[in-house]
Amino acid sequence: MAVPLNILIIAISLIALSPLCSCSKAYGSGDYLFPQFYDHSCPKAQEIVQSIVAKAFAQDPRMPASLLRLHFHDCFVKGCDASILLDNSGTIISEKRSNPNRNSARGFELIEEIKQALEQECPETVSCADILALAARDSTVITGGPSWEVPLGRRDARGASLSGSNNDIPAPNSTFQTILTKFKRQGLTLVDLVSLSGSHTIGNSRCTSFRQRLYNQSGNGKPDQTLNQYYAYGLRKQCPRSGGDQKLFFLDFATPFKFDNHYFKNLIMYKGLLSSDEVLFTKNRESRELVKLYAENQEAFFEQFAKSMVKMGNISPLTGGRGEIRRICRRVNHAY
């Protein structure tokens, strides 16, 4: 029996509205992001981002970790809106000057290179916030980590928050509870905290970020007792009590350029570089069990990391008519 035309039209409409697009509800937003956002307006967008990230990795193996960190530091301040990319201007105090970002955040020039390529392909279409999200995913994949569909459709902020950057991003010497509280404020859970911390399987940290663990962790002139003494001895030879603040050390000494689960294995051996890493194993029973799980089961870590990255990327995006699509990522459009 033939299906009546009116019922057929309704069915087709329902299919079009069905969640086949893997739409992702954004935390703190009434709108949805979805991976196919640029399929018609800029179909080569993801290919362009991936290509430039791959080229950068070949020239600088540190770059993937830097791009992941940019996305994280962006999303934790006013949501994933590319506010971290803005330079100082008459009305904007840049987040680049905050304590978590000053002398350490990098990759800004590469984001501008990607943006320039996308502007040539499809002008005023792909946001800087989406570039950060895509570059973070591609950085994970190119270093051996998991892949995921990146929900897209973010727009760019017209302002920045220096105070937000100083206050909302967990510091390397924060207590476990402080870190967890800052994650929960963003709608993230303890599971997200542990899995996302696994991004420290690649990248570097400066001597100044962990020096107190080596010499004066609790204000008593003694090193951190949860730091392996032989590991600490080697670190002290390269990170003195004073001087050498900017000297870089691998966050994961075992496989520093490979995205894997060695970070968690290091924590079990009390060889986490930062205090904020090691507390995941020493200060909370639930997080300790997750560290052990991810150390034993890389697949479980990869699966949760991908889910948590999507969740983090959904923090309070600007969508619809809010914000703008910047033509240059380091400044708002009306600054021309």
Does the pLDDT value for residue 217 go beyond 50?
Answer: yes
The answer to whether the annotation marks 79 as part of a ligand binding site is yes
Mean pLDDT of the chain: 91
Does the pLDDT value for residue 2 go beyond 60?
Answer: no
The answer to whether the annotation marks 130 as part of a ligand binding site is no
Assigned domain for 214 exists:
no
| Closest to 133 in 3D by CA, of 146, 121, 148, 150 | 150
The pLDDT score that the predictor gives to residue 12 is 31
The strand pairing partners of 249, in sequence order, are 205
The pLDDT score that the predictor gives to residue 220 is 85
pLDDT category of residue 27 using cuts at 50, 70 and 90:
low
Structural domain of 107? 44-203+251-314
The pLDDT score that the predictor gives to residue 222 is 87
Assigned domain for 123 exists:
yes
- At 125, the amino acid letter reads T
Q: What is the mean pLDDT of residues 302-323?
A: 97
Question: Do 323 and 80 form a contact (C-beta atoms < 8 A)?
Answer: no
The answer to whether the annotation marks 252 as part of a ligand binding site is yes
Quote the pTM value: 0.91
Give residues with Cβ within 8 angstroms of 308, minimum separation 6.
188, 191, 192, 195, 196
The answer to whether the annotation marks 74 as part of a ligand binding site is yes
| Closest to 18 in 3D by CA, of 34, 41, 42, 40 | 34
Domain with residue 84: its CATH number is 1.10.520.10
The pLDDT score that the predictor gives to residue 335 is 52
| Closest to 318 in 3D by CA, of 187, 168, 153 | 153
Q: Quick check: helix, strand or coil at residue 220?
A: coil
Assigned domain for 82 exists:
yes
Q: What is the mean pLDDT of residues 19-48?
A: 76
Does the pLDDT value for residue 104 go beyond 70?
Answer: yes
More confident residue, 72 or 1: 72
| Digit-coded pLDDT (tens) for 273-284 | 999 999 999 999
What is the number of structural domains in the chain?
1
The pLDDT score that the predictor gives to residue 32 is 85
d(CA 27, CA 233): 44
The answer to whether the annotation marks 95 as part of a ligand binding site is yes
Q: What is the mean pLDDT of residues 114-125?
A: 98
The answer to whether the annotation marks 143 as part of a ligand binding site is no
Report the catalytic residues: 73
| Digit-coded pLDDT (tens) for 143-185 | 999 999 999 999 999 999 999 999 999 999 999 999 999 999 9
Assigned domain for 301 exists:
yes
Phi, psi of 247 (to 5 degrees): -65, 135
Q: What is the mean pLDDT of residues 250-257?
A: 97
Assigned domain for 218 exists:
no
Q: What is the mean pLDDT of residues 203-228?
A: 93
The answer to whether the annotation marks 170 as part of a ligand binding site is yes
Neighbours of 184 (CB within 10 A): 13
Assigned domain for 93 exists:
yes
The answer to whether the annotation marks 64 as part of a ligand binding site is no
| Closest to 116 in 3D by CA, of 326, 335, 334, 333 | 326
d(CA 11, CA 249): 58
Q: What is the mean pLDDT of residues 210-221?
A: 90
Does the pLDDT value for residue 113 go beyond 70?
Answer: yes
Q: Give the sign of the dihedral formed by CA 233, CA 234, CA 237, CA 238.
A: negative
d(CA 84, CA 75): 9
Assigned domain for 8 exists:
no
Question: Do 201 and 259 form a contact (C-beta atoms < 8 A)?
Answer: yes
